[in-house]
Structure 1
Amino acid sequence: MSIRHDDLLSALHREGVETLVSGFTACPGLFYATSAQDGILSRLRIPGGILNSKQCQAIAQIADMQGGGYVDVTNRANLQIREISQGISSEVLQHLQNLGIGSHNSAIDHIRNIMTSPTAGIDPEELIDTRPLIQSWDAYLAAHSELSALSAKFSVCFDGGGKVSVSDRLNDILLRAELIDTQVYFCLYLSFIKSQPPINTGIILLPEQCLSVLAALADVYLKHTDIQLRRKPRLQAVINSLGWENYLQQVEQRLSFTLQRSQPSPTIKEAGFWHIGIHPQRQENLFYIGVVLPLGRLTSQQLRRLGNLAAKYGSGTIRLTPWQNLLITDIPQQCVIDVQNHLTNLGLDFTVTNIQSTLVACSGKRGCAASATDTKSHALALADYLKNRVQLNRPINIHFSGCAKSCAQHHTGDITLLGVSDRNIESYHIYVGDRDSLEQFGQKIYQDVSFTELPVIIEQMLKIYKIHSLNSEESFGEFVNRYGTNRLKELRPCTIKT
């Protein structure tokens, strides 16, 4: 029998664990466990997505002893432990804190994970290593308990300007490195439009100014928000209410320096999945391997062995990605083949054309009462069906969402499959389109497609794309815009309701 969220918080409070019981939030954390359809859900906040080997072992043990024997990597490079049947003891929580998992100040542990490129510090093309900035902002949050009144969705991202960009991820605040007259600056982007990446404000910051500006942005938010509200407004709502010029003026009043402005750079494009596979690092003779995780899931045994692999062949760290995959880094060139063999023995793949490298699904009806379909099982079945039928030249993002909330992926995918229940038959609406579309899911081309019909439809769409795309560089979204959705609708007009 699962334990209610409030009961778990009360139990933790009685056991002496520092929790912010009065600050209930629907967003789970290590100290803010949330009830789900399949038991209690605990989310481990991993700033920058970097884990060491000891942390991997500890998390795997908890997943085995108190969860479902697996962990899920999220789209913010967190880890989730699901199917927890009873509260995690205060001793275990303290042990995790001592290992650096979760904040040492539990009051801010529910605030969204700080995001950066998984290749920070190792990308040969990056302009600046963002890891020190991640650590500084995380430490600032932990040192200022009043920031627990921020929206749990208050999200910050640092992009160092490398090949593996995270600038197109949905965040309230993005600080993106650019080279201007031989000096590295961070361009300040803020979120104004729901479900759209943040927009360039034209403000540029020196690296040492970033922390002060983030603190001021948070302070202005708190000044104009009722901190007693359980469900806080998103930052974009407060910015739009005040007007962004007014908001930034109030930010500048809190600073000891004047904000510089520059001509905004071009619109950010989707970064792609350049992290999958074997890649040289900026450090001589060292490589990293981007590993495909089926729907972001690892068994606890896989997590343990990956931690051991990282310790034996690398620097002892693995890096989680916002694409729900992971990297093993700092592998000497002579050891790459050995690591590849170990990964294969673990049942894991590292090829970018693997359909699962960009396949995304929410927890589905097994884990969430709001879901109309069993998204995870359907996604894995689709991947298995397509595996020997379509060989892709580049990744295509297929997103299964059990309801319109789109929890697993907040940006428009190449193909989105929205679950619906049609006379108790699990079915999907099919959407396609450009990821820059203002529509939540893109353009609907079919509705109420039963899952038994779905794999053949997707197979046909992918084969048409492969045959008729201009070249291997044309993305699926670009192809759809050129080819036309009406032609895709003609795949099976007699049997599919449109």
Structure 2
Amino acid sequence: MANKFETVKATKDGLAVQSELEHFAAIGWENIPEDDRDLRLKWLGIFFRPVTPGQFMLRLRIPHGILTSDQLQTIGEIVQRYGDSGSGDITTRQNLQIRGIRIEDIPAIFERLQACGLTTIQSGMDNVRNITGSPVAGIERDELIDTRPLVAQLQAMITNNGQGNSEFSNLPRKFNIALEGGRDNSVHAEINDIAFIPAYRQGILGFNVLVGGFFSARRCEAAVPLDAWVTPDQAVLDLCRAILELFRDHGPRTNRQKSRLMWLIDQWGLEKFRQEVAAKLTFPLLNAAPEDEINWDKRDHLGVYPQKQPGLNYVGLHIPVGRLYASDFLELGRIAQTYGNGEVRLTVEQNFILTHVPDAQLPGLLAEPILKRFGIDPSPLQRSLVSCTGAQFCNFALIETKNRALAMSAALEAELELSRPVRIHWTGCPNSCGQPQVADIGLMGTKVRRNGETVDGVDLYLGGKVGKDAQLGTCVRKGIPCDELQAILTELLIERFQARPRAPTANNPSNPMLVLV
């Protein structure tokens, strides 16, 4: 029996609402048919949020996380219109989500986005999501493959150059693709449905291929080797097309919790899946290289680094939990143009990179007031902090995450001295948008019964590792009330991450307690 989502898609394709946007804008959000408002609009990157009725979220498509200062300016001006309700979040897929949007403004907003080369098409629901790549592609001194052209070609193929592509708009479930051209697995290849990682085969540089990685409320799995190697050219696009077509035509659709690519691989077996992929290609699918080139520890790219281009630098700025407001977009766009060439990059850690900054411009850039908020050398817990949207804006989230994550990190750092960053990821629900499974410490929101009352809580994950030898963490403790979490994290940071209690001072006579406003 078809589930509700498959019935909605069979009744009318999600992309069909493109022609109805003007009508929806005229009648107001309350009068849009429910299936269009709550589901089909997501094919256009427009998300109705019951927790903020009348204020929609727009999810952009920013392949490779690369933006221009003009695009930042446009986004800032769009967000600015909505005052205190307007904001934007950098996501864990090098993307942006902007909030506070009213449906009556969306046709004009789409015109502005298109004019500066941005789109929201197919960024939600059962589509290929934002395609990720190394945030320093093309500028990294030790880069192996510049993946930017391939990501741009994939984006064009999947979205029909941003116009919408019905070939790939009705997948059984969402789908993630990542291309890594460096040595440190900056894209978290293991959590993607298809991931390409650099590898030499018989002296030729190409990609080994991983398939099937995903997080869901029902199951989390790391991607597995397809035993395939492709050259960094059209073969990447052809392989992606073959896998997407197989997933579209044969992927399971009955149960939404069992509809990701790995469920099809399980059903067929990896050997048959590989055979079916190879049969759709016009070239032989070669076996994987014995070893890949992912042999560096993961970097966060915060700070100042020389580029491969002589005399130029990239500068990584820390954006606390990825949250930006209109003035931030405008100011970041200004400094990107003033000190660099106007190009910026987003990272999966929800941070921001300015590129092509000449040596002579570095002192002026580093003296800019905005770098007091978005610094290049944040404190150890703030540096590696990641958070999903949380209950403030997302109706799926069981707890507030962003504000709580910032308050908790500040309280822990006031209490403890840390000699190195510790990656703490917060996610508000089992959908795992905050990716707690890849963190040193992962915190997944839940509800906890205590003394007959329901309170905010988290499940605790440990053991996630990124970079070389990446692995997913596991849940080690369930149902910790949030107001008991600080003591548990304090003990954990001391025992496993070599933190030390701070000595009492006049300004800090005793250990602070977390206060969440």
2:47 is matched with 33
Alpha-carbon spacing, 1:66–1:242, altered in 2? closer, same or farther (3 Å): farther
CA distance in 2, matches of 1:42, 1:151: 22
Contact 2:132/2:179 (8 A) holds in 1 = yes
CA offsets 1:256-305 (integer angstroms, 9 cap, x no match): 21111134437968953331111111111111111111111112111111
RMSD: 3.5
Deviates more, 1:190-199 or 1:222-231: 222-231
- Amino acid in the other structure paired with 1:117: S
2:59 equivalent to 1:59:
no
Alpha-carbon spacing, 1:306–1:169, altered in 2? closer, same or farther (3 Å): farther
2:136 is matched with 119
1:3 is matched with none
Q: Deviation of residue 325 (structure 1)?
A: 0.8
Structure 2's unaligned 5+ residue stretches are 1-11, 26-34, 501-517
1:13 is matched with 20
Residue correspondence of structure 1 range 276-287 to structure 2 within 5 A: 276-287=302-313
- Amino acid in the other structure paired with 2:170: A
Residue in structure 1 matching 2:492, options 457, 461, 464: 461
CA offsets 1:103-140 (integer angstroms, 9 cap, x no match): 67899995300011111111111111000000111111
Q: Secondary structure at the match of 1:178?
A: strand
- Amino acid in the other structure paired with 2:194: I
Q: Secondary structure at the match of 2:368?
A: helix
- Amino acid in the other structure paired with 1:454: L
Deviates more, 1:195-204 or 1:162-171: 162-171
CA distance in 2, matches of 1:230, 1:404: 14
2:410 equivalent to 1:384:
yes
1:92 is matched with 109
TM-score, normalised to structure 1, is 0.81
Alpha-carbon spacing, 1:103–1:65, altered in 2? closer, same or farther (3 Å): closer
Residue correspondence of structure 1 range 341-490 to structure 2 within 5 A: 341-342=367-368, 344-345=370-371, 347-351=373-377, 353-409=379-435, 411-419=437-445, 420-422=447-449, 423-435=453-465, 441-444=474-477, 447-451=479-483, 453-467=484-498
CA distance in 2, matches of 1:370, 1:73: 18
Contact 2:193/2:211 (8 A) holds in 1 = yes
Q: Secondary structure at the match of 2:191?
A: coil
CA distance in 2, matches of 1:264, 1:87: 55
Deviates more, 1:253-262 or 1:384-393: 384-393
Q: Secondary structure at the match of 2:301?
A: coil
Q: Secondary structure at the match of 1:140?
A: helix
Residue in structure 1 matching 2:212, options 173, 191, 195: 191
Residue correspondence of structure 1 range 16-415 to structure 2 within 5 A: 25=39, 28=42, 30-38=44-52, 39-66=55-82, 68-102=85-119, 111-143=128-160, 144-151=165-172, 153-163=174-184, 165-191=186-212, 194-208=219-233, 209-225=235-251, 233-265=259-291, 271-342=297-368, 344-345=370-371, 347-351=373-377, 353-409=379-435, 411-415=437-441
- Amino acid in the other structure paired with 2:223: P
Alpha-carbon spacing, 1:313–1:267, altered in 2? closer, same or farther (3 Å): closer
- Amino acid in the other structure paired with 1:448: I
1:492 is matched with none
Contact 1:360/1:400 (8 A) holds in 2 = yes
Q: How many residues align?
A: 458
CA distance in 2, matches of 1:393, 1:358: 13
- Amino acid in the other structure paired with 2:277: V
Contact 2:419/2:499 (8 A) holds in 1 = no
Contact 1:159/1:165 (8 A) holds in 2 = yes
CA distance in 1, matches of 2:376, 2:41: 32
Q: Deviation of residue 429 (structure 1)?
A: 4.0
CA offsets 1:178-214 (integer angstroms, 9 cap, x no match): 2334321111111167523322222111112111111
Structure 1's unaligned 5+ residue stretches are 1-5, 470-498
Q: Deviation of residue 414 (structure 1)?
A: 1.4
Percent identity, please.
30
- Amino acid in the other structure paired with 2:208: C
Q: Secondary structure at the match of 2:433?
A: coil
Alpha-carbon spacing, 1:237–1:222, altered in 2? closer, same or farther (3 Å): same
CA distance in 2, matches of 1:110, 1:253: 24
CA distance in 2, matches of 1:65, 1:224: 45
Alpha-carbon spacing, 1:283–1:240, altered in 2? closer, same or farther (3 Å): same
Q: Deviation of residue 175 (structure 1)?
A: 1.0
Alpha-carbon spacing, 1:238–1:325, altered in 2? closer, same or farther (3 Å): same
Q: Deviation of residue 438 (structure 1)?
A: 7.9
CA offsets 1:437-493 (integer angstroms, 9 cap, x no match): 98764322x743442x43343234323445489xxxxxxxxxxxxxxxxxxxxxxxx
- Amino acid in the other structure paired with 1:166: V
Contact 2:198/2:294 (8 A) holds in 1 = no
Q: Deviation of residue 85 (structure 1)?
A: 4.3
Q: Deviation of residue 418 (structure 1)?
A: 3.3
- Amino acid in the other structure paired with 1:463: I
CA offsets 1:409-443 (integer angstroms, 9 cap, x no match): 16342112333333243333444334489876432
Q: Secondary structure at the match of 1:83?
A: strand
Contact 2:147/2:181 (8 A) holds in 1 = yes
CA distance in 2, matches of 1:395, 1:179: 32
Contact 1:12/1:90 (8 A) holds in 2 = no
CA offsets 1:388-409 (integer angstroms, 9 cap, x no match): 4434333211122333332221
Contact 1:315/1:329 (8 A) holds in 2 = yes
- Amino acid in the other structure paired with 2:492: M
1:481 is matched with none
Alpha-carbon spacing, 1:298–1:192, altered in 2? closer, same or farther (3 Å): closer
- Amino acid in the other structure paired with 1:461: L
